[in-house]
Amino acid sequence: MGDSELAYGSSLTLDSMKVIAESVGIATLGDDAAKELADDVTYRLKVIVQDAMKFMHHSKRQKLSITDIDHALKIKNNECQYGFIQPDSLPFRFASGGGRELHFIEEKEIDLSEILSAPPPKVPLDVSVRAHWLSVDGVQPTVPENPPPLSKEAQKLESVDPISKLSKPSNKDSAGKPICGKAARLKASESVHVKQLATHELSVEQQLYYKEITEACVGSDETRRAEALQSLACDPGLHEMLPRMCTFISEGVKVNVVQNNLALLIYLMRMVKALLDNQSLYLEKYLHELIPSVSTCIVSRQLCLRPEMDNHWALRDFAARLMAQICKTFNTSTNNLQTRVTRLFAKALQCPSQTNNETGPSMASMKESEKTPLASLYGAVQGLAELGPEVVKVFILPRVRWLGERVEGALSGIGGADRLAAGNLKHQLLKVLAPVVRQLRQPPDQPEDYKRDFGYLGPSLQQAVSKIRSSPSCSTAGGAVAVVTCTPPLLPTAPSPSPSNISHTTKTETVTTRNLVIASSTPQSPAPSTPPPQKFVIVASQQKPTQIQSSSGTGHIVVHSSQPTIVRSQNVQSVVVTSGPAPGGAAQKLMVVGVQPQHNQGQAPVSVVAKPVFARGGGGPQPPPELDDLSHLA
C-alpha cells in the first residue's frame, strides 16, 4: 500500500502501524494484522474527516480546524482529542534516520514555574461591530474599508498585458463608472479588428483630486500637505492616477534639482514615500520613473542653493531610506533591483585610481573636476548603509582609507561648504562603520591597528567602536545599522564645535525662523522588519523668547523652542519644531519658494510643479527668512 506513490499520504502504511503498535507495547505485530489495522484505521480516519467537513461548513469556514475533528469524533461517540487546541494548524515535523521516516508533532517540555512567573498574556480584543457603506445606490465608494476597485493582481495583469483591459470594457465587478459612449461605439463597430489604444481617461473628479493633491503636496500649508500625503498613503483606487503622479514626481525632481529647490525636493520625496506606503497600488510599473528621481535626491552634486547653509543631508538620508524600502519591497530575481542600486552607489564611491594602483596616488595628482563631490559621497554612503550591514562591509569598508583621505583633504581645505560636507561625511562613515567593525574585529581595539587598517579615519573609528562596545543598549542591537538614528548635529546653527559654526555666524542675522519637520512613517509601512527606533532630534537655535505652541492637530506636535530640545517621536504623525517668534509660521513658509525669483522671473513655468510656486514667488514679498525643512523617517 505504502509503496505506490498515489497512496502515499492518503493511507497509513504497515510501518506506521508497527511503530504505533510498538508505542503501546506490542513488540511484534504481524504483517497481516498490520495491514488489516492500517486499512481499517485509514477508513475510519477518512470517515471522521468527511464528517468534520460538515462542521467546517456550518461554522462558515473554508479551512478545517481541530475543533471540527473533535466534533466529528463526538458524533461518532468517541472521545475528543484533548490537548490539541490551537487556532491554526499544528506544525507536522518530519524526521528520518535509520531507514525510517517519521512524521510527528513536536511536544515541547514546558517549565510550569516559568509560565506561572510570566506576566499573564494579553487579553484578546473583544469583538466589535463596525459599519460602513459597501455600496451607495449601486456604486461602491472607494473608502479604505472597501477593497480597491482594481486589485493589485489586476493592475499587474494590466501592466503585463494591456489588451486584457480592452477585452472587457464594461467590467461589472468594478465600481460602476459609466461606460463612455466612445468606447461603446468602438465596441459596437467591430468590422475591422484594429488593436485599440488603451485610453487613460480621468474623470472630472479624478482630475480635481489630482490637482488638489499635487497642489497640497508641494504647497505651503503643512497641515494640508499632511492630509494629502495621508490620502496618498491610504486611499484605495488611486491606480488610475498613478502614472500621472509618478510623472509629476519625476518631472518635479528634474526641474527642482536644476534649480536647487531643496524644499520641493523634500516634498516630492514625501510623496514617493506615501505612494510606497499605499497597499493597494501596483508600483512596479513606475519604478523606472521613481528610482532615478530618488537616487538623484541621494547622490546629486548639489540639492540646495547654499550647500553650506541648507540641510540637504536630511533629504539625502530620507531618500536613501526610501531607496532601501523600494529595494526591500520590489526586489525580485528578475529585476535584480537591489543589485543594480547597490552598483549605482558603489560606483559613486569608486576611487578613480583604484583600478590603476593599489596604494592610490596622492590627492594632489587628481584634478578637482574628476573628484566625486563630497555630498555625493555622503549620499552614496548613506544609500549603501540603508541596505544593511552586509552591504556596508563589502562596499564601504574597503574604501575607508580613500574616503578618509578625501575627508582629510577637505577638512584641511578652505571651502566652508566642503569642510561642512567632510565633517558630515566623516560622521556618517563612523556611524555606519562602527557597528560593522565591531562585529568584524575582536575586542582589544588599538588605535594603531585602526590607523594602519583604515587610514585617517582609523582613530576616530576606534573611538566609535569602543564606545559602542561599552554602551549596553547596542550589545542587544546586534549590529543593526539602522538602529543608530541619532541625527548628527546637522543644523548649522547648533552651538557646537562643528566647523559649520563659522559659516553660520555670518548669516545669523537673517535667520529668524527655523522649521524642523519630522515625518514619522505612516502606520502601514509595508515591511517594518524592526520596530521603528526612537528618534532623538536635537534642535537648537539662537536665543529668542521661548514659546510653546499648542499642538495643532491630533497627530501633530508643534514644539517651539529656543533651547536645545529633545523631541522624542514615536507614535506621533509629525513633529514640527520651530524656534523664534512663532505665529505666522505658515506665511513664512511660503517664502521658501520665493527665495529665488530672480532666477525664474523671465522664464515660462517649466512644469506643473513649479507653477503654483512661481506664481507666488513672483508676486509675493520676498523677505528672506530661510526655512530649513528636514524630513526624517522613523
Partner 1 sequence: MSEKSTPLLAVLQLLRKYNLKSTEDILRKEASLGDVECESLDLPEVELASILTAHHTESDPFTYELAYDGLKKFIENSLDLYKYELSTLLYPVFVHMYLLLILYDHVEHAVSFLEKFGIEQEDYYQEDLKKLSIVKHKDQIKGNELAEIYSTNKFTVQLSRDASSQLKRYLHEQKNSSVIINIINNHIQIEVHDGPGRTQAQVRATAGGVLGEPMKSENRTKVYYGLLKEPDIQVLPAPVEDEEEVEETPDKPKKKKAKKDNLFMKKPKSDPNAPPNDRIPLPDLKEIDKVEKGKALREASKRVQLGPDSLPSICFYTLLNSGHTAISCDICDDSTLLAVGFNNSNIKVWTLTPIKLRGMKSAEKLQDIDREAGDVLVRMMEEKDRDTCRNLFGHSGPVYKVAFDPFKTMLLSCSEDTTVRLWSLQCWTCLVVYRGHVWPVWDVRWSPHGHYFASSGHDRTARLWATDHHLPLRIFIGHYSDVDCIQFHPNSNYIATGSSDRTVRLWDCLTGSQVRIMTGHKSTIFTLAFSVCGRWIASGGSGGDMMVWDLSTGGPAASLPPAHTAPIHALAFSRDGTVLSSGSLDCTIKLWDFTAITDESPIEETLNNPIPKEDKYLLQSFATKSSPVKGLHFTRRNLLLAVGTYESSA
Residue ranges that bind partner 1, judged by CB under 8 A: 39-40, 42-43, 46-47, 50, 54-55, 57-63, 65, 67, 71, 75, 87, 124-138, 140, 145-147, 172-173, 176
| Distance of closest approach, residue 71 Cβ to partner 1, in angstroms | 6
Looking from the CA of 176 toward its CB, the CA atoms found within 13 Å total: 7
3-state secondary structure of 107: coil
| Closer Cβ to partner 1, 146 or 501, answer by number | 146
d(CA 600, CA 300): 21
d(CA 348, CA 361): 18
| Distance of closest approach, residue 143 Cβ to partner 1, in angstroms | 10
| Closer Cβ to partner 1, 147 or 532, answer by number | 147
| Closer Cβ to partner 1, 137 or 358, answer by number | 137
Looking from the CA of 548 toward its CB, the CA atoms found within 13 Å total: 5
| Distance of closest approach, residue 156 Cβ to partner 1, in angstroms | 17
| Closer Cβ to partner 1, 55 or 286, answer by number | 55
| Distance of closest approach, residue 60 Cβ to partner 1, in angstroms | 5
| Closer Cβ to partner 1, 59 or 350, answer by number | 59
d(CA 167, CA 371): 55
d(CA 200, CA 197): 9
| Closer Cβ to partner 1, 88 or 368, answer by number | 88
| Closer Cβ to partner 1, 136 or 192, answer by number | 136
Task: Please count the residues of the chain.
Answer: 634
| Distance of closest approach, residue 518 Cβ to partner 1, in angstroms | 30
Given a contact cutoff of 8 angstroms between Cβ atoms, the answer to whether 464 and 430 are in contact is: yes
Q: Are strands 556-560 and 535-539 parallel, antiparallel or unpaired?
A: unpaired
Nearest alpha-carbon partner for 431 in 491, 477, 485, 376: 485
Give me the helices (H) in 508-591, please: 585-589
| Distance of closest approach, residue 233 Cβ to partner 1, in angstroms | 17
| Closer Cβ to partner 1, 105 or 127, answer by number | 127
| Distance of closest approach, residue 105 Cβ to partner 1, in angstroms | 21
397 DSSP 8-state letter: G
| Distance of closest approach, residue 43 Cβ to partner 1, in angstroms | 6
Q: Determine phi and psi for 622, rounding to 5 degrees.
A: -130, 55
d(CA 232, CA 213): 8
Q: What angle do CA 631, 252, 151 make, to 5 degrees?
A: 85
Which amino acid is present at 319?
A: A
| Closer Cβ to partner 1, 6 or 414, answer by number | 6
Looking from the CA of 40 toward its CB, the CA atoms found within 13 Å total: 7
122 DSSP 8-state letter: P
| Closer Cβ to partner 1, 65 or 424, answer by number | 65
| Closer Cβ to partner 1, 112 or 527, answer by number | 527
| Closer Cβ to partner 1, 136 or 204, answer by number | 136
Looking from the CA of 300 toward its CB, the CA atoms found within 13 Å total: 28
3-state secondary structure of 137: coil
Nearest alpha-carbon partner for 490 in 504, 476, 478: 504
Given a contact cutoff of 8 angstroms between Cβ atoms, the answer to whether 561 and 579 are in contact is: yes
632 DSSP 8-state letter: -
| Distance of closest approach, residue 189 Cβ to partner 1, in angstroms | 16
Q: Determine phi and psi for 308, rounding to 5 degrees.
A: -80, -15
d(CA 396, CA 389): 10
| Distance of closest approach, residue 528 Cβ to partner 1, in angstroms | 14
C-alpha cell at 123: 487579553
d(CA 606, CA 597): 14
| Closer Cβ to partner 1, 8 or 536, answer by number | 8
Element (H, E) at 291: helix 287-299
3-state secondary structure of 144: coil
Given a contact cutoff of 8 angstroms between Cβ atoms, the answer to whether 537 and 566 are in contact is: yes
| Distance of closest approach, residue 571 Cβ to partner 1, in angstroms | 21
| Distance of closest approach, residue 29 Cβ to partner 1, in angstroms | 19
Given a contact cutoff of 8 angstroms between Cβ atoms, the answer to whether 288 and 603 are in contact is: no
| Distance of closest approach, residue 291 Cβ to partner 1, in angstroms | 28
For 271-324, where are the E strands, in sequence order?
Answer: none
| Closer Cβ to partner 1, 107 or 137, answer by number | 137
| Distance of closest approach, residue 145 Cβ to partner 1, in angstroms | 6
